[in-house]
Amino acid sequence: MNDEKTILYVSHISKFFQTSGTILRKKRYIKAVDDVTFNLKEGETLGIVGETGCGKTTLGRSILQLIKPTSGDVFIDLPDDVMMEVMDIDKRLSTLEDEDDEEYAQLLDRYQVLSKEHSITKKGNRAMKKYRKIMQPVFQDPFSSLDPRKLIKDSIAEPMKLLTEMNQTEILDKEISLITEIGMSEDHLYRFPHEFSGGQRQRLGIARAISIEPRLMILDEPTSALDVSVQAQILNILKDLQKTRNISFIFISHHLSVIRMMSDRVAVMYLGKLVELSETEELFTDMLHPYTKALLSAIPIPDPTITRERIVLEGEIPSPANPPKGCYFHPRCPVAMKNCGWSARDLVEPIKDMLDPYRNQEASTLPEITEIVSDEQENIIDLIFAEGQTFDKEEVKAEIAKMIMKESSKKGGVKFSAIGDISYQETGELRLAIIEPDTPKLMEPRKDHFVSCLLFDYNYNDRKEESYGEAEGEEEKPSINL
């Protein structure tokens, strides 16, 4: 693998799908891919892994421009100095905090010039022809590239006819050499797709993609539909083709063992976000992100003398149409902190339970609460007391604060520590205000090891010390303003 040449740089790519609205439901955006940045070297394989629906396919298709990304840039096969400049400016822009800063404005201007000139997201269909020759997809279902009504010969020839100047004889020669390279024979060219097994069809799909000698292949679950023994053959063919041609791969799979076998580096996605990226062995043995830890804890260890605790994540994967605030992983994160993104929607039901006298005896001494109303935008929960009651307001407030602190010290109670302020409103309700969440950025706490988690965000940890006076590593303590 060439350590120097970057063949692809994906910068802050997002793809939001708009859902159709109804009378009862407003239009929404599904954040399928949300601000993803990474680079890929020549001859390198970057594995992309994550649970179903986390945006792997959408990311691949956005890079290929098979779908138009909502925002962001894709730079491919640029002269080294231009690629380095783009990546360097982008890195500096993401580390500069003050967006009004003159340096920031100058860098942004230069970035925009480079983006306009070189990003394929800014290119029209005609200009894209050049890039379609450079990158080729292989999908899980080879039928998507092999027309069932066409001879294999004609399907494989299609990209060469469309994207190269090759004549018919050259195309046929190339097909014969390719079909031998993938372990099949010339007479297979004169058959139809249905005459082949799934594994053979996938080989033919690969031959079709490789026929125009792309520099980058985006392989989306290329072996997931195949038997394990056939999978291994296809993976080996891919590795051989890569070695002889020095092609770069983006290899998408939810099979961790396949990802480990194929990839030089691995990117982990969660709910459209890239949460961790590092060299493969480091990711599998010394992962940093709590989600990666949970994901990888499911892999069985072949050595029976080694035991590892399986981390079972609680709760459903949230909808990308309505992702949580702050860190998208916070509702399921076993080590979430109070600033990780808790909002009214996380707390309203637990608060209702806490204040329900049938569930919590301590609540029976409180005055009657008729309604608990939350506002996700304002990040508040209002407790509305029944009219006509007389009670010592300060005493009730202190009692509720005590109950919140008690809840926060229970297992899984960290969300309660996100309540930062309790105060009466002029209209009489008691308002629980939740602290402003922090959103993690992709940081590089170790060389070439990126992670998006507040535990590794030094800026956040500095700010945290300023505002809450908590030493690093010290347990989170609730601190409610009464």
Ligand X SMILES: Nc1ncnc2c1ncn2[C@@H]1O[C@H](COP(=O)(O)OP(=O)(O)OP(=O)(O)O)[C@@H](O)[C@H]1O
Q: Number of residues in contact with ligand X, rule: CB under 6 A?
A: 13
d(CA 386, CA 332): 35
**H-state helical runs in 73-192:** 80-95, 102-118, 125-134, 152-163, 168-181
Structure tokens at 327: 């860190």
Segment lying near ligand X (by CB under 6 A), choices 51-59, 76-84, 274-282, 452-460: 51-59
Q: Based on CB atoms, which residue is closest to ligand SF4, 306 or 471? A: 471
Closest approach of ligand SF4 to the CB of residue 53, in Å: 19
- φ/ψ of 372, rounded to 5, equals -125, 115
Among ligand X, Mg ion, ligand SF4, none, what does residue 453 contact (CB within 5–8 Å per kind)? ligand SF4
Q: Based on CB atoms, which residue is closest to Mg ion, 56 or 273? A: 56
Segment lying near ligand X (by CB under 6 A), choices 45-53, 166-174, 234-242, 384-392: 45-53
Closest approach of Mg ion to the CB of residue 57, in Å: 3
**Considering only residues 10, 179, 295, 337, which one is a binding residue for ligand SF4 as defined by CB under 6 A?**
337
d(CA 174, CA 352): 69
d(CA 223, CA 259): 11
Segment lying near ligand X (by CB under 6 A), choices 46-54, 79-87, 228-236, 375-383: 46-54
H/E stretch holding 14 reads strand 6-18
**Considering only residues 20, 52, 185, 305, which one is a binding residue for ligand X as defined by CB under 6 A?**
52
380 Cβ neighbours under 8 A, 6+ residues apart: 344, 374, 431, 432, 433, 434
Closest approach of ligand X to the CB of residue 174, in Å: 32
Q: Which residues of 200-231 are buried (b: 16+ CB within 10 A; e: fewer)?
A: bbbbbbbbbbbbbebbbbbbbbbbeebeeebb
- φ/ψ of 228, rounded to 5, equals -55, -45
Closest approach of ligand X to the CB of residue 140, in Å: 8
Closest approach of ligand SF4 to the CB of residue 271, in Å: 11
Q: Number of residues in contact with Mg ion, rule: CB under 5 A?
A: 2
- Asked if residue 360 lies in contact with residue 327, where contact means CB atoms within 8 angstroms, the answer is no
Among Mg ion, ligand SF4, ligand X, none, what does residue 330 contact (CB within 5–8 Å per kind)? ligand SF4
**Binders of ligand SF4 in range 285-324 (CB under 6 A):** 290
- Asked if residue 15 lies in contact with residue 33, where contact means CB atoms within 8 angstroms, the answer is yes
- 182, 187, 191, 197: CA torsion to nearest 10: -40
Closest approach of Mg ion to the CB of residue 143, in Å: 16
Our finding on whether 283 is near ligand SF4 (CB under 6 A) is no
**Binders of ligand SF4 in range 419-478 (CB under 6 A):** 440, 453-455
105 Cβ neighbours under 8 A, 6+ residues apart: none
Residue with tokens 């822009």: 93
Segment lying near ligand X (by CB under 6 A), choices 52-60, 210-218, 258-266, 458-466: 52-60
**Binders of ligand X in range 249-268 (CB under 6 A):** 254
Our finding on whether 340 is near ligand SF4 (CB under 6 A) is yes
Among Mg ion, ligand SF4, ligand X, none, what does residue 30 contact (CB within 5–8 Å per kind)? ligand X
**Binders of ligand X in range 53-112 (CB under 6 A):** 53-58
Instruction: Mark residues 317-336: x for contact with ligand SF4 by CB under 6 A, - for none.
Output: ----------x-xx--x-xx
Closest approach of Mg ion to the CB of residue 225, in Å: 12
Q: Based on CB atoms, which residue is closest to ligand X, 32 or 396? A: 32
H/E stretch holding 216 reads strand 216-220
Max CA pair span of the chain? 95
455 Cβ neighbours under 8 A, 6+ residues apart: 288, 290, 335, 337
Closest CA to 258 of 285, 240, 235: 235
Closest approach of ligand SF4 to the CB of residue 438, in Å: 8
Residue nearest to Mg ion (CB): 57
Closest approach of Mg ion to the CB of residue 173, in Å: 35
**Considering only residues 11, 14, 57, 202, which one is a binding residue for Mg ion as defined by CB under 5 A?**
57
Our finding on whether 30 is near ligand X (CB under 6 A) is yes
- Asked if residue 45 lies in contact with residue 262, where contact means CB atoms within 8 angstroms, the answer is yes
- Asked if residue 437 lies in contact with residue 343, where contact means CB atoms within 8 angstroms, the answer is yes
**Considering only residues 32, 76, 83, 295, which one is a binding residue for ligand X as defined by CB under 6 A?**
32
Q: Which contacts qualify for 81-88: CB closer than 8 Å, 24 or more apart?
A: 82/114, 82/118, 83/6, 83/9, 84/6, 85/110, 85/114, 86/9, 86/11, 86/111, 86/114, 86/115, 86/118, 87/6, 87/9, 87/39
**Considering only residues 43, 72, 137, 320, which one is a binding residue for ligand X as defined by CB under 6 A?**
320
Among Mg ion, ligand SF4, ligand X, none, what does residue 143 contact (CB within 5–8 Å per kind)? none
Q: Based on CB atoms, which residue is closest to ligand SF4, 178 or 294? A: 294
- In one-letter notation, the amino acid at residue 294 is A
List of residues contacting ligand SF4 (CB under 6 A): 290, 327, 329-330, 333, 335-337, 340, 440, 453-455
List of residues contacting ligand X (CB under 6 A): 17, 30, 32, 50, 52-58, 254, 320
List of residues contacting Mg ion (CB under 5 A): 56-57
